[in-house]
Structure 1
Amino acid sequence: MDNTGGASFMRNRRFESFLDTSCEQPNVKEPPRVSVKQEAGFRPKAETDQYVDDDGFISVLISYVRIVTCFVTMMVTTFVWAIVMLLLLPWPYQRIRQGNIYGHVTGRLLMWILGNPVKIEGTEFADKRAIYISNHASPIDIFLLMWLTPTGTVGIAKKEIIWYPLFGQLYVLAKHIRIDRSNPSAAIQSLKEAAHAIVKDNLSLIIFPEGTRSQNGRLLPFKKGFVHMALQSRLPIVPIVLSGTHRAWRKGSLHIRPVPITVKYLPPISTSDWTADKLDDYIKMVHDMYVKNLPEPQKPYASDSTRTCSNS
Structure 2
Amino acid sequence: MRWLHSVLFWSFFAASSAVLFCVALVIFLVTWPFDRNGRVLHLFSCAWAQLYFWVTPGWRLRIEGRERLPWHGPAVLVSNHQSLGDILVLFGLYRPFKWVSKASNFELPFLGWNMYLNRYVGLVRGDKDSIAKMMAECERWLNRGVPVLLFPEGTRSPDNQLLPFKEGAFRLAHNQGCPLIPIVLTGTGNTLPKHGLLLKFRADCKVRVLEPVDPRAFPDATTLRDHVRGLMEQEKARLESGATAP
TM-score (norm 2): 0.83
Structure 2 residue aligned with 1:110, among 34, 40, 52? 52
Q: Which residue is 2:207 aligned to?
A: 263
Q: Which residue is 2:154 aligned to?
A: 211
Q: CA deviation at 1:220?
A: 1.1
Larger radius of gyration: 1
How many residues are paired up?
Answer: 237
1:150 lines up with 2:95 in the alignment: yes
CA RMSD of aligned residues (A): 2.8
Amino acid at match of 2:223: D
Q: CA deviation at 1:150?
A: 0.6
- Alpha carbons 1:136, 1:208 under 8 Å: kept: yes
**Cα distance in 2 for residues equivalent to 1:199 and 1:126:** 14
Q: Which residue is 2:85 aligned to?
A: 140
Listed as ranges, the gaps of 5+ residues in structure 1 are 1-56, 299-312
Q: CA deviation at 1:214?
A: 1.4
1:233 lines up with 2:162 in the alignment: no
- Alpha carbons 2:63, 2:93 under 8 Å: kept: no
Q: CA deviation at 1:230?
A: 0.8
Amino acid at match of 1:103: S
Q: What secondary structure sits across from 2:162 in the alignment?
A: coil
Q: CA deviation at 1:181?
A: 5.4
**Cα distance in 2 for residues equivalent to 1:101 and 1:260:** 24
Amino acid at match of 2:199: H
Q: CA deviation at 1:111?
A: 1.1
Q: What secondary structure sits across from 2:157 in the alignment?
A: coil
Listed as ranges, the gaps of 5+ residues in structure 2 are 241-246
Amino acid at match of 1:200: N
Q: CA deviation at 1:192?
A: 4.0
**Cα distance in 1 for residues equivalent to 2:86 and 2:102:** 18
**Cα distance in 1 for residues equivalent to 2:66 and 2:238:** 24
Q: CA deviation at 1:205?
A: 0.9
Amino acid at match of 1:214: S
**Cα distance in 2 for residues equivalent to 1:257 and 1:127:** 34
Q: CA deviation at 1:81?
A: 0.3
TM-score (norm 1): 0.67
Structure 1 residue aligned with 2:141, among 198, 222, 230? 198
Q: Percent identity?
A: 23
Q: CA deviation at 1:169?
A: 2.9
Q: 1:87 to 1:265 in 2, by over 3 A?
A: same
Report Cα offsets for 1:158-188 as digits up to 9, x if no partner. Answer: 455543333333222222223565632x245
Report Cα offsets for 1:243-288 as digits up to 9, x if no partner. Answer: 111123333341222121111111111113444xx33222221111
**Cα distance in 2 for residues equivalent to 1:274 and 1:187:** 27
1:66 lines up with 2:25 in the alignment: no
Q: Which residue is 1:85 aligned to?
A: 28
Q: CA deviation at 1:60?
A: 4.3
Instruction: Say which is worse superposed, 84-93 or 112-121, in terms of deviation.
Output: 84-93
- Alpha carbons 2:121, 2:134 under 8 Å: kept: no
Q: What secondary structure sits across from 2:215 in the alignment?
A: coil
**Cα distance in 2 for residues equivalent to 1:101 and 1:297:** 27
- Alpha carbons 1:218, 1:297 under 8 Å: kept: no
